[in-house]
Amino acid sequence: MLEKLTWVVVADESQAKVFSYLHLHKGLDFKTCLAFPEGQDKIHEFTTERPTRKNYTQTHKHTSAGEVDVEHQLSQQFAKEVAEYLDQARTAKKFEELVIIAPPKFLGDLRAKLSTGTAKVVKATINKELTHAPTEEVMKQVEAL
Distance CA 114, CA 83 (A): 5
Residue pair 71/43 in contact (Cβ under 8 Å)? The answer is yes
Torsion, Cα 47 49 55 56, to 10 degrees, reads 40
Phi, psi of 57 (to 5 degrees): -65, -40
- pLDDT by residue (tens digit) across 110-145? 999 999 999 999 999 999 999 999 999 999 999 998
For the chain, domains (ranges, CATH) are 6-143 (3.30.420.60)
Cα–Cα distance measured from residue 111 to residue 128, given in angstroms and rounded to the nearest whole number: 15
What is the model's pTM?
Answer: 0.79
> For residues 9 and 29, is the Cβ–Cβ distance under 8 A?
no
Instruction: Check residue 48 and give its pLDDT.
Output: 40
